[in-house]
């Protein structure tokens, strides 16, 4: 039996990001929330102002025997525009930034290597921030599995 691992990604509005990761083979659980900010107990309303400095993020629990962290990082870079600072589509603000919140040095190294490969291959500078994971605050219940619930 393998040990499950966690990964945390921010790539715009967390509803769509969660749905995309949730459907990957090897992903066992997803949860949306807020991380990377300066206040305790952030709420959706407070995060939307940008004042808390949190990002809307998705915590992914995965089985590394089925899907690797590198594969998750590669998928992350494919599902959003990592070259746009603080914006994904119509969502604008630091809460929608492109970020990878690593939980250990191995994840940090992998994320940095994959970012560098994309920058070299595409000839562009990515705005994705790679930073140590701190407290992950669960978003309110109505945000969890939002798209799966059939919300618009």
CATH of the domain at 101: 3.30.1060.10
Q: Is the pTM of this model over 0.85?
A: yes
Q: What percent of the chain clears pLDDT 90, i.e. is strictly above it? A: 91
Question: Quick check: is 85 in a domain?
Answer: yes
User: Is residue 150 assigned to a domain?
Assistant: no
If DSSP codes are grouped into helix, strand and coil, which group holds residue 135?
Answer: coil
Look at residues 71, 56, 54 and name the one whose alpha carbon lies nearest to residue 15.
Answer: 56
The domain total for the chain is: 1
Residue 37, classed as helix, strand or coil, is coil
- pLDDT tier for residue 77 given thresholds of 50, 70 and 90: very high
In Å, how far are 6, 23, 100 from 51, measured between CA atoms? 27, 32, 20
54 has a pLDDT exceeding 80: yes
Would residue 151 count as lying in a domain?
no
Q: Please indicate, yes or no, if residue 80 is contained in any of the structural domains.
A: yes
Query: Which residue in the list 8, 13, 55, 111 is annotated as catalytic?
Result: 13
Q: Is the pLDDT of residue 1 over 80?
A: no
Alpha-carbon distance 93 to 107, whole Å? Answer: 26
Is the pLDDT at 87 greater than 70, yes or no? yes
Segments forming the whole domain that contains residue 71: 5-143
On the question of pLDDT at 146 being above 90, the answer is: no
Q: Per the domain annotation, does 152 fall within a domain?
A: no
Find where tokens 């919300």 sit: 151
Arithmetic mean of pLDDT, 97-119: 98
C-alpha 148: how far from chain center:
18
Q: Does residue 126 belong to any structural domain of this protein?
A: yes
13 in active site: yes
Residue 113 domain-assigned?
yes
Q: Pull the structure tokens for residue 26.
A: 């090897």
Residue 50 lies in a domain: yes
What mean pLDDT comes out for the span 34-42?
95
Residue 147 phi/psi, 5-degree rounding, is: -70, -40
> So what's the pLDDT on residue 123?
93
């Amino acid at each position: 039996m393998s040990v499950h691992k966690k990964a945390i990604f921010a790539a715009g509005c967390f509803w769509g990001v969660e749905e995309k990761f949730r459907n990957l083979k090897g992903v066992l659980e997803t949860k949306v929330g807020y991380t990377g900010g300066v206040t305790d107990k952030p709420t959706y309303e407070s995060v939307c102002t940008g004042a808390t400095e949190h990002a809307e993020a998705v915590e992914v629990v995965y089985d590394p025997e089925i899907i690797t962290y590198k594969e998750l990082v590669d998928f992350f870079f494919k599902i959003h525009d990592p070259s746009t600072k603080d914006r994904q589509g119509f969502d604008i603000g630091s809460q929608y930034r492109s970020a990878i919140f690593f939980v250990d040095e191995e994840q940090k190294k992998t994320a940095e290597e994959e970012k560098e490969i994309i920058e070299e291959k595409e000839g562009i500078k990515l705005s994705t921030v790679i930073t140590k994971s701190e407290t992950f605050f669960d978003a309110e219940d109505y945000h969890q599995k939002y798209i799966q619930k059939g919300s618009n």
